[in-house]
Amino acid sequence: MFFASDNSGPAHPEVLTALMEANQGYAMAYGADAIMDGVRTRIREIFEAPEAAVYLVATGTAANSLALATLSQPWQTIFCSPVAHIHEDECNAPEFYSGGAKLTLVPGGDRMTPEALRGAIAGEETRGVHGPQRGPVSITQVTERGGVYSIAELQALCAVAKEYGLPVHLDGARFANALVALNASPAEMTWKAGVDAVSFGGTKNGCMGVEAVIFFDPKHAWEFELRRKRGAHLFSKHRYLSAQMAAYLKDDLWLRSARQANANCARLADGLRAAGAEFLHEPQANIVFAAFPRATHRRLMAAGAVYHLWGGTLDGQDESEKLACRLVCDWSIGTEQIDRFLALL
Amino acid sequence: MFFASDNSGPAHPEVLTALMEANQGYAMAYGADAIMDGVRTRIREIFEAPEAAVYLVATGTAANSLALATLSQPWQTIFCSPVAHIHEDECNAPEFYSGGAKLTLVPGGDRMTPEALRGAIAGEETRGVHGPQRGPVSITQVTERGGVYSIAELQALCAVAKEYGLPVHLDGARFANALVALNASPAEMTWKAGVDAVSFGGTKNGCMGVEAVIFFDPKHAWEFELRRKRGAHLFSKHRYLSAQMAAYLKDDLWLRSARQANANCARLADGLRAAGAEFLHEPQANIVFAAFPRATHRRLMAAGAVYHLWGGTLDGQDESEKLACRLVCDWSIGTEQIDRFLALL
Amino acid sequence: MFFASDNSGPAHPEVLTALMEANQGYAMAYGADAIMDGVRTRIREIFEAPEAAVYLVATGTAANSLALATLSQPWQTIFCSPVAHIHEDECNAPEFYSGGAKLTLVPGGDRMTPEALRGAIAGEETRGVHGPQRGPVSITQVTERGGVYSIAELQALCAVAKEYGLPVHLDGARFANALVALNASPAEMTWKAGVDAVSFGGTKNGCMGVEAVIFFDPKHAWEFELRRKRGAHLFSKHRYLSAQMAAYLKDDLWLRSARQANANCARLADGLRAAGAEFLHEPQANIVFAAFPRATHRRLMAAGAVYHLWGGTLDGQDESEKLACRLVCDWSIGTEQIDRFLALL
Amino acid sequence: MFFASDNSGPAHPEVLTALMEANQGYAMAYGADAIMDGVRTRIREIFEAPEAAVYLVATGTAANSLALATLSQPWQTIFCSPVAHIHEDECNAPEFYSGGAKLTLVPGGDRMTPEALRGAIAGEETRGVHGPQRGPVSITQVTERGGVYSIAELQALCAVAKEYGLPVHLDGARFANALVALNASPAEMTWKAGVDAVSFGGTKNGCMGVEAVIFFDPKHAWEFELRRKRGAHLFSKHRYLSAQMAAYLKDDLWLRSARQANANCARLADGLRAAGAEFLHEPQANIVFAAFPRATHRRLMAAGAVYHLWGGTLDGQDESEKLACRLVCDWSIGTEQIDRFLALL
C-alpha cells in the first residue's frame, strides 16, 4: 500500500531487459550511441516533429532547469504557478541554471488561467531596464495537484505567451499520464498548442531515471548541448539512458504504464468517494488529494499504508478531524493493494 | 579491439544483477533507500573513515564540480594540472558550479610537482582583494596521461597545500586503477596523505554511471546536499545509483575490475614495447600513450581497431611518420582482442 | 516643480565643496585614503557601533545586492515586500549577486507585518533539500510607498527573523528621511532593533552617488570586500566616494537635508489635503501618493510640473476621473515651487 | 614624488568645474540626462562611428567585465595575456559577470603576438562539447607593462581573432596614452583594426571615476544596458558621470592630459637611463619598469618617493642588488617632482 510517490516504485521489467540487451560490447560515449539514434527518430515520429532536437538527462529537475535556461536570459522572469515544481521543489535549480533569472508566480492554484497569466505578464511592466524582463512561461502537465489542462486550455495559455512573444515550456514529468487522460496526440498537447520545449518524463512512469528534453525549433540544439555538458548532465555511458528511453517508447510501454497508473488512481478515487472522503482537487490522472478523519489515517498507517499527509499531522486529539493527504498511484501498484487500502477505510 | 575509452565498455554483469535485485517493490526516494545505508557504511569501512560524508552522483563531472564548489569560494582560484579533466574536458562546469572561480594551471605536464605547485600558489600573490584568492588544489589520480602518483608524492603535494591552508580534492575517476597499481589502502591514498574530498569513480571501472563523493570532514555534508539538489543531481529513484555502487564494492568487484584493466594494459604495453613503439608517458595503470608509424595506424584501423590519435591525423603522405595515440583498457577487453591488436602491429 | 524622484535633484553644495577639497595631491587608492578613515570612525560613532564594518559603493542597488549576497547562500530565499526595490527595480541584481537565490514576497503591501512575515517564513517549509532554504529578511525604511516603520514595528519584524535564526537587512536608501521622521537614533533604528546590515543611502539625500554598507558584526568584512571588488564596485579613486560621505555626515548635513525634504513633503501633503486630493498611502517621510482629477494633472503638467503618474495615463476622456501619482520631495525643492504647484491645483 | 599609480592623482580642474556646472537644478536620471546626449554624440564623432552604442560606468573593471560578458557565453574562454588586468587584478570579475567563462592565457608576456594568439586559440581545440568554446580576445592597450601595440600589431591580432570568428575587446584603461603615443586616430586604433568593443578609460587620465564602453555594432546595446543595470552599475544621478566624460572630451582634455603624462614619463625614463637604470620593458607611454640598486630605493623612499617595488622587497643585506620597480606618471605630476626624484638617484 505504497502511495507516497510515483518515483518510489520499481522500474518496469521491459526497461530492465532493455538495459541488459544494451550491455553488450562497446558503444560510443556521450550520446553518440546507436540506441540514441533510434530514440531520436522515434520521438520525432511520436511528436510529428521531424526537425525536433531531442536530448536525454537523468532527472526531471535537470530537464526543467536546462530547458528553461536555454529559453531564457538571466535578467528575465519565468512565469509559473505558485505550486510549480520548478518553484517549490528544485532548491533554486532554475535560478542556478539560468544564471539568476526570477520566477514570477501567477496568482491562483496549480492551474494557471489565461487571465491570471496575462495579468502576471502585464504586471511585469516593461519599465526599461529597471524590472526583470519578461521570459518564458512554464506549464506543468499533469499539474502538481493532479489536474490535467485540456488542449483548449493549453492553447489559451500559449496564446497569451505568444501575445507577448514569450516561449513556452511544458514540465511533463507526468506527460504520459496527461496524454492518456486527454486521449490526445503528443503533437496536440505540445507544439500544435504552442509549446516550444518539453520535459518528457520517463522516471515516474516506469523508468529508472531518464527524461527527454525536446525543442521543436532546432535552433536551440547546440546551446542546450553545451549547457547539458557544463551542467555535468551529459552521461559518458549514455547508452543506458538511451536504452531506458527506447524501452519506454517501444510497444507503447509509456502509454500502457500511464493508462495503468491512471486506472489505478481512478479505482482508488472511486473507493474514496464511496467512503465519503472529500477531494481537495478533482483527480484527473494518477494523483488524488483527499481528506478523511484522523482516526482513519491512523488505522491505515498502522496497517502499513505509506503516503504523505498534506498540511497536517497525525498528532492531535480530535479523531474525527479531517486531515488531507496526497495519494499517488504508479503503474506497478496492484489492484489488491488498492482494494486492501479501500477496505481499511 | 576497442581502446577508445574506459567509458565505452559494458557494465559488469554483477552490477546489472544488483540492479535487478534492487528493482523489487517500493523504496524511499532521494537517497533515503536502504541500499544507500549499506553503501555509506561500506565506504566508511573501506576508507577507515567512520565520520565521512558519502554521496552518489551519476557523472564524474558532477562529482568533481560539486566537490570543488563545496571546497571553494567564487573569488578563489583552483590549482590543477594544465591537462586536468576539470580544465580541459568539463566545458567550464567547475566555473559554473563554483559561481565563477578561476582555475590556475600549475606549469608542467599531467603530474604536478610540489615545487611547481608551490610556485603557482605563491605566484597567486595575496594582493589584497585584487587578485583571485587561493583556493583548493585538485589532483587527478590516475592522471589524465596514465600516470600514478606515489603515496609519497601525494603527501608532498598535500603538504604544500596545507602550508597555505588550502583543501585538497582528488579526482579519482580511475581511483581503483591507481590503488591497485600502488598496492596501497584507500586511506593511505586519501586522508592519510592529506586529501579532504574524493571523487571516487565507478563509471569507468564497470558501473553504468555512478560516482561517490566523499568528504572526510562531515562539516561539508549539508552544503553538499543542497548543492547536489540545486545542481539537479539528486536522483529520485536513487536506489539504482546505490545498487550500482553496492555491487561495485561487494566482493571487491572494484579492485578485481581495476586489476584486470591494469593487467590488460600491461599486456598491451609489453607488446607495444616489443614492437618498437615509443611511449609518450610511462604507463602505470590502464592507459598507454604510444607512437608508431602512420602505416601501422592505417592497418590497425582498417582491421577494426578503435582508438584516438593524439595530436595528429591519418591524413598525410609520410607513411613512416610516427603518430601518437591513446589506448585505454577497461576490465572487459579480452586478451584475445589485445593479442589481435598486437599481432596487427 | 520637479517631483519625479529624489535622485534627480542636484547634489548639496557642501558635497561639491568637499570634493574640491579632496582633490588635492595624491591619495591612496581603493579605499585606503585618509578621508575614508574619518568616514569609518564617524559612522561607527553615529551608530554607536565601534566594531562595525563600513564600506562605500556608488549605487543603492550595489549596496543592497552586495549586502544581501554576503548574508545569504545561493540556495536560500530572501524575504521582502512585493513592492521592494530589490524585487521590482533592480533587474535581478540580488539574484545575480547572490548566485541565484530566490526572493519570497511577503503578502501585503509595502509594509510587512510580523504575522505576514512569519507566515511567509513558515510557508517555506523546510522540506529537506527540496525547497529553497530560508535566508535573510530585507526591510525597506522609508518604504517604497513613503511609509516609515516605527521602532516597535522594526523590532517586531526582526524578532520574527530571529525566531528562525535569519539575518536582517535594512534597505535605507532613504535612511535619513526615516530617522528624522521617527526622531530616533541610528542605533535604535538598526542593531538595537535587530538589524544586521544596512544600506545607508546618501545619493537620494544630497550626494552625487554614494551609499554606505554597514555590518554590525565585522565577521562579514573580508567577504564583503571580496564581493565588492569582484562586483567591480571598488573605486580606484575612492577618495571621491569618501569625500561625499564625509561631507554628508559633517555638521549633520544628512539630517538637515532629510528634515528639509520631509518638511517640503509635509507642506505639499497639507496643500494636497486641503485641495481635496485622496492619499493612497499616508505620507510619513518625503513621498506622497495622491489622486486627483485628470484635468488637474493636465493643467499641472502643462505648467511644467514633472512627476510620475501611478498606474494610469493622461489619455482618456473623463476629465474628472481621479488619477494617482507619486510626488517625491528632495531637500532642494524650494517652497515657492511647492506653493506654485499647490496654487495650480 | 608619487609614482605609485595613475589612479592616485587628483582629477583635472576642468573635470571638477564641469561637475559644478552640471549641478544645477533637476536632471533626468539613469542616463537620460542631456549631458549624456552630448557625450554620446561626441564619442561617435571622435571614433567616426555614427552607429556606436556608448555607455558610461564608474570603474574600469566594470567596463571590462560588462563588455566581455556581453561578447561571450558562459561556456566560452576569453583569450588574454597572462598579465592582463582582467586576469590578475579583477578578483574574478570577468568570470562573475560572464557567468563562469574561463580565461585562456596566451603564452608570453604583456604583449600578445599573433603567433602565440593563434596557437592558444588553436590549442583550445573544438572537441565538441567537452572543452570550453572559443570566445573573445581581450587586448590591453597600453599594456600592463607600459607597452603600446602599433596599429599593425593590433590589426594582426584582430586578424587572428577574425580567422576564428571571435570578437575583440580592447581594454583601454589608458586608451589616450596609447593613442598619443601612436599618433593615430581612435578609429584606426579600434574598429578599423578589427576591435569590436572598447573600454575607454577616463579615471586614470584626469577624471574622478568614469569609463565609457563602446560597441561599434549597436546590436549589443540593449543586452549591455540590462547587464549594466543588473550589475548595479547604472547610476541614478548619471549626470555626474556624463559631466566628467564631457569635460574629458572637451577641448581635447583627454589628449592634453595623456600627452602630459607621457611626456612626464619620457622625462623620467631619460633620467633613469642616464643614471644607469635597467629597463625591464621599453617604456612607450606613461609607465616605466626599471631596476636599480637597493640602496637607491632606500634613499628615494626615505626622501618621500612613493612607488611599488616589482617582485622584491627592501629587506635584504645586499645594498647593491638591483631591485625592479614600477613608476607611473599621470598628467598631474610636475616636472619638479620628476627632477627631484632623478636628482635623488
In angstroms, what separates the C-alpha of B245 from chain D's closest C-alpha?
Answer: 26
**Rounded distance, CA D124 to CA B88, Å?**
9
As a whole number, mean pLDDT of residues B232-246 equals 98
Q: Which CATH class is domain D254-344?
A: alpha beta
Cα dihedral B296, B298, B302, B305 in deg (nearest 10): 60
Whole-number percent of chain B with pLDDT over 70: 100
Q: Which residue type occupies A315?
A: D
Min Cα–Cα distance to chain C from B58, Å: 18
The pLDDT tens digits for D61-103 are 999 999 999 999 999 999 999 999 999 999 999 999 999 999 9
pLDDT of residue C126: 67
3-state secondary structure of D266: helix
Q: Do residue A30 and residue D129 have CB atoms under 8 angstroms apart?
A: yes
How far, in Å, CA of D233 to CA of D228, rounded?
Answer: 5
- Rounded average pLDDT over B306-317: 90
CA–CA separation, D173 vs B217, rounded Å? 45
Q: Does A132 contact C91 at a Cβ distance shorter than 8 Å?
A: yes
Q: Is the pLDDT of residue B313 over 90?
A: no
Grid cell in block for residue B260: 584486470
Pairing of strands A308-309, A322-328: antiparallel
d(CA B171, CA B200): 7
What pLDDT, on the 0 to 100 scale, is given for residue D126?
67
pLDDT in tens, chain A (345 residues): 899 999 899 999 999 999 999 999 999 999 999 999 999 999 999 999 999 999 999 999 999 999 999 999 999 999 999 999 999 999 999 999 999 999 999 999 999 999 999 999 998 776 899 999 999 999 999 999 999 999 999 999 999 999 999 999 999 999 999 999 999 999 999 999 999 999 999 999 999 999 999 999 999 999 999 999 999 999 999 999 999 999 999 999 999 999 999 999 999 999 999 999 999 999 999 999 999 999 999 999 999 999 999 988 888 889 999 999 999 999 999 999 999 999 998
Q: How far apart are the first and last CA of chain D?
A: 12
CA nearest C95 in A: which residue? A100
Residues in chain D closer than 8 A to C204 (CB atoms): 236
Nearest to C29 among D7, D27, D235 (CB): D7
Cβ-based neighbours of B66, under 8 Å, separated by 6 or more: A232, B57, B97, B213, B224, B227, B228, B231, B233
Beta carbons within 8 Å of B319's beta carbon, 6+ residues apart: B293, B294, B295, B298
Distance of residue B126 Cα from the nearest chain A Cα, in angstroms: 29
Helices (H), ranges, chain A? 13-22, 34-46, 60-71, 85-88, 93-98, 114-123, 151-163, 175-182, 186-189, 221-230, 239-249, 253-274, 294-302, 335-344
Q: Which of C5, C11, C29 sits opposite D29 (nearest CB)?
A: C5
Under 8 Å between Cβ of A269 and A288: yes
The phi and psi torsions of B289 (rounded to 5 degrees) equal -110, 110
State the Cα–Cα distance between residues D75 and A223, nearest whole angstrom. Answer: 9
List chain B residues with CB under 8 Å of D130. Answer: 88-91
Element housing C158 (H / E): helix C151-163
CATH top-level class of B13-252: alpha beta
State how far residue D131 is from chain B, nearest Cα, in angstroms: 5
Helices C114-123 and C151-163, packing angle to 10 deg: 20
Residues of chain A with CATH 3.40.640.10: 13-253
D74 contacts on B by Cβ (under 8 Å): 92, 95-96
Q: Which residue has the cell 497525525?
A: A314
Q: Is the pLDDT of residue D125 over 80?
A: no
Helix (H/G/I), strand (E/B), else coil: B240: helix
When CB atoms are compared, the residue of C7, C97, C235 closest to D29 is C7
- Residues above pLDDT 90, as percent of chain C: 95
Would you say domain A255-344 falls under CATH 3.90.1150.10? yes
Q: Read off the amino acid at residue B149.
A: Y
Q: Which residue is it, cell 484522523?
A: A294
- List C-alpha distances in Å: B239 to A62, A91, B21, B45, B245: 18, 21, 11, 20, 10
Looking at chain B, which subunits does it touch, using at least 3 CB pairs closer than 8 Å as the criterion?
A: A, C, D
Best of A76, A83, A87, A92 to disrupt the C interface by mutation (most C CBs within 10 Å)? Answer: A92
Q: Write out the residue limits of the CATH 3.90.1150.10 domain(s) in chain C.
A: 254-344
Question: How far is D179 from chain C, CA to nearest CA, in Å?
Answer: 23
CB C231 within 8 A of CB C66: yes
Chain segment C116-138, per-residue pLDDT in tens:
999 999 987 768 999 999 999 99
Taken in order A314, A320, A324, A328, is the CA torsion positive or negative? Answer: positive
Cell, residue D85: 588586468
The upper half-sphere exposure of residue A91, i.e. CA atoms within 13 Å in the direction of its Cβ, equals 24
Question: Where do we find the cell 498528532?
Answer: A315
| Fold of domain C13-253 | Aspartate Aminotransferase; domain 2 (3.40.640)
pLDDT of residue A212: 98
Would you say the C-alpha torsion B122, B125, B131, B134 has a positive or negative sign? positive
Spatial CB neighbours of D20, under 8 Å, sequence gap ≥ 6:
C16
Would the CB atoms of D26 and C9 count as touching at under 8 Å?
yes
3-state secondary structure A51-110: CCEEEEECCHHHHHHHHHHHHCCCCEEEEECCCCHHHHCCCCHHHHHHCCCEEEECCCCC
Given a cut of 80, is residue B125 above it in pLDDT?
Answer: no
Give the pLDDT band (50/70/90) at residue B27: very high
Size of interface B-D (CB pairs under 8 A): 63
Which residue intervals of chain B bear CATH 3.40.640.10?
A: 13-252
Distance from CA of A231 to the nearest CA of C (A): 15
CB B11 within 8 A of CB B18: no
pTM: 0.97
Separation of CA C192 from chain center:
19
**What are the φ and ψ backbone dihedral angles of B163, each rounded to 5 degrees?**
-50, -40
Subunit contact A131:C95, Cβ cutoff 8 A: no
Which string of b and e fits C67-90 if b means at least 16 CB within 10 Å? bbbbbbbbbbbbbbbebbbbbbbb
Residues on chain A touching B208 (C-beta within 8 angstroms): 19, 237, 240
For residue D151, how many other CB atoms are within 10 A of its CB?
A: 15
**CA distance to A95, A211, B289, per residue, from A59 (Å):** 17, 6, 36
The whole-angstrom separation of Cα D250 and Cα A100 is 40
Given a cut of 50, the residues of chain C with pLDDT beneath it are none
CA dist A54 and A51 (Å) reads 9
- Per-residue pLDDT at C14: 98
Task: Report the alpha-carbon distance of residue C153 to residue D139 in Å, rounded.
Answer: 54
Q: What is the ipTM of this complex?
A: 0.97
Contact between C244 and C19 (Cβ < 8 Å): yes
Distance of CA B340 to the CA centre of its chain: 28
- Nearest alpha-carbon partner for B177 in B158, B153, B201: B201
**On the CB side of D163, how many CA atoms lie within 13 Å of its CA?**
13
Q: Chain D residue closest to B127 (CA)?
A: D89
With beta carbons under 8 A apart, name residues in chain C contacting B234: 129
Relative orientation angle of helices A34-46 and A239-249, to the nearest 10 degrees: 40
Question: In angstroms, rounded to a whole number, what is the distance separating the alpha carbons of residues D117 and D78?
Answer: 11
Q: What is the pLDDT of residue A316?
A: 86
> pLDDT at position B74, please?
98
Q: Which amino acid is at C71?
A: L
